[in-house]
Chain A
Amino acid sequence: MATPLPLNCWRQKCLSRPFPSTRLFSTTSTKLALPVATKKSGATVKGQKKSARIKSKAPPKSTAKPPMPGERKAMRKRIVLSNTNALEVDGLVDLSREMTGSLQNHAGKVVGLEGATVDGLRAVEAFKTTQGWGLFRRPAVLIREESVQLGRRLVGVEQGKETLRVVVDGAKGTGKSMLLLQAMATAFVRGWIVLNVPEAQEVVNAVNDYAAIPGTTPTLWSQPAYTANWLAQIAKANGPILNTLKVSQKHNLPITVPSDTTLTRLCELGARDSDAAWPVFQALWSEITAPGRPPILMAVDSLSYIMDLSQYRDPDFNLIHSHDLVLVKHLTDYLSGTRTLPNGGAILAATSRSHAPVSLSMNLAITQQVERQKGEEITERDPYERKYDQRAESSLKGVEVLMLKGLSKVEARGLMEYWAASGVLRQRVDERTVAEKWALAGNGVVGEIQRGALRMRI
């Protein structure tokens, strides 16, 4: 039998637990027994300690008008490209068509971007909030060693009518997105057509509407709203070029397109009607890849998002692979080299090393390619790992990898001299300051140099 234990143990000041330490094998009697009258939780006994009752005041309600829907986000995402307080830098040359052929003359220096280029870049959303554009008088970029390489390659493929396929990789803050921006700036300056997916996450994270394209096996999925948006962006960014080009082929489109329309107009028509967006995009694509048309640059940022399953679901509630989204498929076809650009051009993709999903296949492909480029022994895939993605792997086969490291001290100095000339960095730029900032930024990681010299140093 269980020994009755005092329930009010505290009164006798004993230290034993207030629960029976012996248990019965049968639970019947306990079940049959009348429930023990428990004290109300609020009731207190004299002498018993209780926790302090602290009256919590309701926080004062704000009487101000809350911001409009979307206003806060707009505030957060706002891109400021100019600081009227910053000084105009003397002798800042702008990126021009002639210069892009011989960027090595400007290596380690900062070059400005002229108004038309900036408009184009802004339209394709190449500028990002984290890049610190708002501190300077006008947008300018540092020409680093990799920019020279990439610029040379771009000029080369334009002349040879080849397709350049490059994945830009590197640690966080090494300037991957900035290199994409520089490539796009080069393309704008040289009169290419630029298509940019500023953030691959937005294509696959199931925030846009989607529809199966009839008559495709395996089923492909289009994203009408996103495509329409993209068409508008393309029209806006490449207006000067597309305005000069006219529709030259017959297209089977759900909307009527007059025969003599410009390609800008075609894009705008597609952007207006989201259901027709994808067919219009296909029409546009066949137009701009027709012979005699300018080269094309396609750029994707945050590549690892489109190297895995997307967040979209098919009717069986399975996740759709991102390569089954027709827009992504369009990009990966060119990235993998299954399709090529007849007028020459490039597809560039940059990885994201902060807050992006880990794609094992992409990482492996990049490592292998880097080793291949260096002539080292190639890493095999881990036989015990199941998370590899076959389609991602095949889409990255043979892609060139441009690995970004920290800046050299000469480049860092060029950049810091520009900051000092803009009046933003109030410090003498000499070997000592450069060496110090360079070391503090983990051997010249450019984003960290900026953080350490401009942003976070108080």
Chain B
Amino acid sequence: MPPRLNFHGASRSLAIRSRPSIALRQPGIAQVIARRGYAEKEEQQPTGPNQGGGIGHVSEEAADIDRVTGKTPPDIGQGTPVQEILKRDQEGKDKAPEVIKEDIGGAKASAETMTFENLLAMGQMQNVANGGLASDPVATIGHKYGLPELPLPPTSNLHYRYDPVITQVTNLLMKHGKLSAAQRNMAFILNHLRTAPPPTPSPAHPLLPGSPHPSHLPLNPIGYLTLAIDSIAPLIRIRSQKGAAGGGAALQIPVPLGLRQRRRQAVEWILNSANKKNSRGSGKSQFAQRFAEEIIGVIEGRSSVWERRNLIHKSGMSARANLLIMQRRRK
């Protein structure tokens, strides 16, 4: 009995593959360039005899000739440039020779040296200088104005464009998903910090060690805000584990917090306290103003948030023995 014909097997065994078995390693850009049609290619025009580097404009040429022959050359600095005349004269502009028309688009002239065509040619010349052929792929092309240095600065990403503290606080200010309103509030807060008189920190509630002088804070509102938040951010939270203390009683266990968690807790406290305040004026920005006042209050040690922080830390200190109990139990 003949075996059943296996088409798949046949097609696989036939070594017809449109690609080489092993792809050549080559930069993607070079491939792209090889296949690209350039806009300039079609517009390339034959250069005239007096276009090139050798001879200048008609008047410059005349000046040169006169200088050589010993006559008084025409003063080039005196005359009105054609471009200025043409600026006033629309008809003349339309009928001007191509060379002058090109010249009028003066803005382009500076960018001329940076065109693709030019860069390509320069790359080829570089190849020759390096001992290769002009037809070798030009590796450095694919950009016109230089490449930005990688890695880009951290705020260059579309989704992380603001300072991380600002982003976090803005998101915590947000209500009902209205980011735009939250950002407006954030901007108001920063401007309020900028214009409010410099704070006077109280010695009873010391700020983070190494914080700048208070008079330097207003002109760096982001630093101001960060300092306030980081200064009152609690180091721990108290987790109460049910039944761990025996007899169903909850055991208070201090748990360390991460940076973002600490900041979040701090902002929540500030928000709570700002919401309880009464606004002084009227208008849209009242909430933002209360929040900003609270930030200043935190720096000056007036805010009630300090008490909350101290309470947490104190109870964490007293409950630190419970950590050992938990550890022992785990063993």
Direct contact of A and B (CB under 8 A): yes
Q: How far is the CB of B155 from chain A (nearest CB, A)?
A: 11
- A155 interfacial by beta-carbon distance below 8 Å: no
A64 cross-chain contacts in B, Cβ below 8 A: 278
Which of the candidate stretches A84-92, A203-211, A320-328, A390-398 sits at the interface with the other chain? A84-92
In the bound complex, residues from chain A placing their C-beta under 8 Å from that of B219 are: 85-87, 423-424, 426
B197 touches A (CB below 8 Å): yes
Cα-based distance from A458 to B170 in the complex (angstroms): 10
Closest to B186 in A: A458
A53: chain B residues within 8 A (beta carbon): none
> How far, in angstroms, from A85 to B218 measured CA to CA in the complex?
6
B163-206 vs A, Cβ < 8 Å mask (1 yes, 0 no): 00010001000000000000110110011001111100000000
Contact present for B281 and A75 (CB under 8 Å): yes
Q: How far is the CA of A72 from the CA of B280 in the complex (A)?
A: 7
Would you call A62 an interface residue if the criterion is a C-beta within 8 Å of the partner chain's C-beta atoms? yes
Q: Are A85 and B197 within 8 A (Cβ)? A: yes
Q: Are B162 and A458 in contact (CB under 8 A)?
A: yes
A344: min CB distance to chain B, Å: 33
Once bound together, how far apart are the Cα atoms of A135 and B218, in whole Å? 11
Option from B170, B187, B197 in Cβ contact (under 8 Å) with A457: B187
Given contacts A84-B197, A85-B197, A458-B166, contact A75 B186 (CB under 8 A): no
Instruction: Provide the residues of chain A in CB contact with B9, threshold 8 Å.
Output: none
Is A71 positioned at the interface, with any CB of B under 8 Å from its CB?
A: yes
B214-242 contact mask (Cβ, 8 Å, vs A): 1 or 0? 00001110000000000000000000000
A310: min CB distance to chain B, Å: 28
- A456 interface residue per 8 A CB criterion: yes
* Contacting pair B195 A71 (CB below 8 A): no
The verdict on A76 contacting chain B, using a C-beta distance below 8 Å, is yes
A73 to B187 alpha-carbon distance, docked (Å)? 22
State the interface size on chain A (CB cutoff 8 A).
Answer: 24
Alpha-carbon separation in the docked complex, A83 to B193 (Å): 11
Enumerate B268-285 residues with CB–CB distance to A below 8 Å.
Answer: 278, 280-283
Q: Does A134 contact B (CB under 8 A)?
A: yes
Q: Are B281 and A67 in contact (CB under 8 A)?
A: yes
In the complex formed, the residue of B with least CB distance to A63 is B278
Bound state CA distance, A76 and B284, in angstroms? 10
- 1/0 contact string of B235-257 vs chain A (CB within 8 Å): 00000000000000000000000
Query: CB-nearest residue of chain A relative to B223?
Result: A426
Q: Mark A79-106, 1 if CB is under 8 A from B, else 0.
A: 0100111110000000000000000000
Chain A residue, CB-CB nearest to B281: A75
With A85-B218, A134-B195, A426-B219 as known contacts, state yes or no: A458 contacts B183, CB within 8 Å. yes
Q: What residue in chain B is nearest A84 (Cβ atoms)?
A: B197
Query: Which one of B184, B194, B196 lies within 8 Å of A456 (CB-CB)?
Result: B184
Minimum Cβ distance to chain A for residue B16 (Å):
54
For B197, the chain A residues whose CB sits under 8 A away are 84-85
Task: Tell which of A72, A80, A455 touches B187, judged by Cβ atoms closer than 8 Å.
Answer: A455
Taking the closest CB of chain A, its distance from the CB of B162, in whole angstroms, is 6
| Residue from A75, A76, A85, A424 having most chain B Cβ neighbours under 10 A | A85
Bound form: Cα–Cα A135–B219 in Å: 10
Closest to B220 in A: A426
- On whether the beta carbons of B220 and A76 are closer than 8 Å, the reply is no
- Interface mask (A39-83 → B, CB under 8 Å = 1, otherwise 0): 000000000000000000000001010010001110110001001
A456 touches B281 (CB 8 A): no
A135 and B195 contact, Cβ closer than 8 Å, known pairs A72-B282, A75-B280, A76-B281: yes
Q: Is B194 touching A458 in the complex (CB atoms < 8 A)?
A: no
Q: How far is the CA of A456 from the CA of B183 in the complex (A)?
A: 8
A180 to chain B, nearest CB (A): 25
**A431 CB to nearest B CB, Å:** 12
B122 → A minimal CB distance (Å): 24
A64 to chain B, nearest CB (A): 4
- For B220, list chain A residues within 8 Å (CB): 426
Of B166, B196, B280, the residue contacting A67 (CB under 8 A) is B280
* A126–B186 CA distance with the chains assembled, in angstroms: 29
Please give, as numbers and ranges, the residues of chain A lying within 8 Å of B194 by CB-CB distance: 83, 85, 135, 424
CB-defined contacts of B183 to chain A, threshold 8 Å = 456, 458
Cα(A235)–Cα(B198), bound, Å: 37
User: Which one, B170, B195, B218, B282, contacts A80 given CB within 8 A?
Assistant: B195
Taking the closest CB of chain B, its distance from the CB of A441, in whole angstroms, is: 16
Complex CA gap A80/B194 in Å reads: 13
CB distance from A42 to the nearest CB of B (A): 33
User: Could you say which residues of chain B place their CB within 8 Å of the CB of A73?
Assistant: 282
Tell me if B191 and A455 are in contact (CB < 8 A): yes
Q: Nearest CB to that of B190 among chain A residues?
A: A458
Bound CA–CA A217/B283 (angstroms): 45
Q: Which residues of A contact B280 (CB under 8 A)?
A: 67, 75
CA distance A64 to B197 in the complex (A): 26
Interface 0/1 of B133-173, CB less than 8 Å to A: 00000000000000000000000000000100010001000
- Distance A423 CA – B220 CA, assembled complex (angstroms): 9
Q: Is the CB of A85 within 8 A of B166?
A: no
Contact yes or no, A458 B281, CB < 8 A: no
Which of chain A's residues has its CB closest to B170's CB?
A458
Q: Which residues of B in the span 282-296 have a Cβ within 8 Å of any Cβ on A? A: 282-283
Closest residue on chain B to residue A76 by CB atoms? B283
Chain B residues lying within 8 Å of A423, measured Cβ to Cβ, are: 219
Collect the chain A residues with CB atoms within 8 Å of residue B187's CB. Answer: 455-458
A84 / chain B contacts, CB cutoff of 8 Å: 197
> Least Cβ distance of B295 to chain A in Å?
14
A64 to B196, CA, bound (A): 24
A72:B195 contact, CB within 8 angstroms:
no
Contacts of B166 in A (CB 8 A): 458
CB distance from A458 to the nearest CB of B (A): 5
| Complex Cα–Cα for A456 and B184 (A) | 7
A130-165 vs B: 1/0 string, CB under 8 Å? 000011000000000000000000000000000000
A75 vs B281: C-alpha distance when bound (angstroms): 6
A79 CB → nearest B CB, Å: 13
Of all chain A residues, the one with the shortest Cβ separation from B215 is A85
- Please, could you name 21 A-B residue pairs with CB atoms under 8 Å apart, sorted by A? A64-B278, A67-B280, A73-B282, A75-B281, A76-B281, A80-B195, A83-B194, A84-B197, A85-B219, A87-B219, A424-B219, A426-B219, A426-B220, A455-B187, A455-B191, A456-B183, A456-B184, A456-B187, A458-B170, A458-B186, A458-B187
Across the A-B interface, the 6 shortest Cβ-Cβ residue pairs: A75-B281, A72-B282, A85-B218, A64-B278, A423-B219, A458-B186
Give me 10 other A-B pairs in contact (C-beta within 8 A), A455-B187, A455-B191 excluded.
A67-B282, A71-B281, A72-B281, A72-B283, A75-B280, A85-B196, A85-B218, A423-B219, A457-B187, A458-B166
